[in-house]
Amino acid sequence: MRTNTTPSRRKMLMLAAAAVTTGIIPILGHTDDDSHEDYDSDGKYASGNNTTFALANTGLTANIVVIGGGMAGVSVAKYLRLWGGAGIKVTLVEPSLTYTSNIMSNLVLNNTRTMSSLAYGYTSVATKYGVVIKQAAVQSINTTAKSVALSDGSTLAYDRLIVAPGVDFMDAYGLTQSDYENKTPHAWRAGPQTELLRTQLANMSNNGTFVMTIPKAPYRCPPGPYERACLVADFLKNYKGSASKVIILDENASIQAEVDNFTYAFNSIHRGVIDYRPGVTNIQINPDTKVVTYTDQLLVSQSINAQVVNPIPPHRAAGSAPGSWLANAGLNNSSSNGVPDGRWCVVDVLSYESTAVAGVHVIGDASSCGLPKAGHVANQEAKICADAIIRIAGGQAPDSGPVANSACYSPITASTASWLTAVYQYDASTRRMAIASNGGVTSGARATEAASITNGNFRQMNTWFNTLMGDTFS
């Protein structure tokens, strides 16, 4: 599935902007033809094209530091160089050697995917586009001096800083970070916890009970928890007995995405296995006994004896806990119901510049902007941000009407899937992004779901994923 901000379209816009600013039209050695992409046996994008791009001399200059090597950070680093030209210097700060995709990671739980098929490195963005990779963690940001202090003792100066750190997971339900890592994995960041949860599922006895929790929105990947419930249900009824149970304790009042298709999946495809319980409160989990207590919608206390518990805890922007680097920089300025909560970074969506600190942009899951927190959206936000920064470097204002597309596929079984898509545009009345409808009026719109859950959607899901990851990392 193509978005309305494909690399080709955005590139054309930026080439036009560069031509207006500098009087030249650079020629870039890039093709947007999917037939030129290669895939390995796991279906992962294999970077077989070693073309080094001849970046244009646009006359633009800037020193940009990007914090975070996920979907948002890598995308913005790549496109700043690709669109901005050789004078835009970009350093990407990331402590890990590889990125593991959260997208598709639920398929690891039923052995449809491997963890290695979700691993992506930074060699391509370094060698093709000249992004400098700095393997280190952020210690602090000095927004007055415009510098970033790193764990290796070095300091990076910047003209503009882009923060794309992703999320951290809060202690919740009586659990600690150690419990998440060793006993009750959330597996909402793909990695060792994903493998632990897969092992726990494989070791369940026949006809056992799996309990998962869903935090109040916003959280990363709105359809993701319901997708996971479906895949776990599919695995359990096929390998652990038809009397197995998947109990979903949702702190939200209703399903948060793909309502029609997930309702059908719960009530038909996985009928008798999935037990969906919305609007619950006061969840408490004993990590040793796996006893889960909560208050239901009727305000009655309930208790469940589970074999495996998969709590998805509330999130916050990574580094936003009191005393941490992002909080110390004053970037976490969000509120909930008018009360400051410091969980997210509010941004001006025309450029993704922080509303709290000038010269610092926040993209991806850490930002609060009206868009869902998802990998495809992070890629889109990165392109809007890159476009804006390059325009600013050329003495122009950011685009006054940015548009983004949110698209994702949700596997329902080991061979079928649904999908969801929406076009978002800038809403001047709220200064946020909102779903577009009625010829551009943003009120009353709704994302579009697949008409049905099919094998064809599952096949298309792999094409969509490979295209997205290729656009980001290759």
CATH number, residue 196: 3.50.50.60
Taking a C-beta distance cutoff of 8 angstroms, is the pair 224, 214 a contact? no
Q: Which residues pair with 62 in a beta bridge?
A: 88
| Res 44: pLDDT | 36
| Res 28: pLDDT | 28
Helix (H) or strand (E) holding 132: strand 132-134
Residues 11 and 125 in one domain: yes
| Res 441: pLDDT | 52
Residues 11 and 155 in one domain: yes
Domain that holds residue 79: 7-169+315-398
User: Residues with Cβ < 8 Å from 298, sequence gap 6 or more?
Assistant: none
| Res 21: pLDDT | 30
Taking a C-beta distance cutoff of 8 angstroms, is the pair 319, 368 a contact? no
| Residue 401 tokens, joined | 């009407």
Residues 244 and 329 in one domain: no
Domain boundary at 259, 279, 311, which?
A: 311
Domain boundary at 367, 398, 429, which?
A: 398
pTM (2 decimals)? 0.88
Residues 150 and 198 in one domain: no
Residues 16 and 93 in one domain: yes
In terms of phi and psi (left: phi > 0; alpha: psi -120 to 50; beta: otherwise), the region of 312 is beta
| 416 belongs to a structural domain | no
Helix (H) or strand (E) holding 308: strand 308-311
pLDDT tens sequence across 58-97: 999 999 999 999 999 999 999 999 999 999 999 999 999 9
In order of 240, 271, 398, 466, the CA distances from 425 in angstroms are 46, 38, 14, 26
Residues 274 and 330 in one domain: no
Taking a C-beta distance cutoff of 8 angstroms, is the pair 377, 423 a contact? no
Residues 21 and 135 in one domain: yes
Domain count within the chain: 2
| Res 314: pLDDT | 98
Domain boundary at 398, 416, 437, which?
A: 398
Taking a C-beta distance cutoff of 8 angstroms, is the pair 411, 107 a contact? yes
Distance CA 219, CA 452 (A): 25
| Res 54: pLDDT | 83
Taking a C-beta distance cutoff of 8 angstroms, is the pair 115, 190 a contact? yes
Distance CA 471, CA 405 (A): 15
Distance CA 474, CA 471 (A): 6
Strand-pair category, 45-46 with 160-163: unpaired
| 75 belongs to a structural domain | yes
Distance CA 16, CA 25 (A): 7
| 365 belongs to a structural domain | yes
In this prediction, the residues of the chain whose per-residue pLDDT falls under 50 are 1-51
User: Residues with Cβ < 8 Å from 317, sequence gap 6 or more?
Assistant: 165, 167, 168, 326, 331, 332, 343, 344, 345, 362, 365, 366, 367
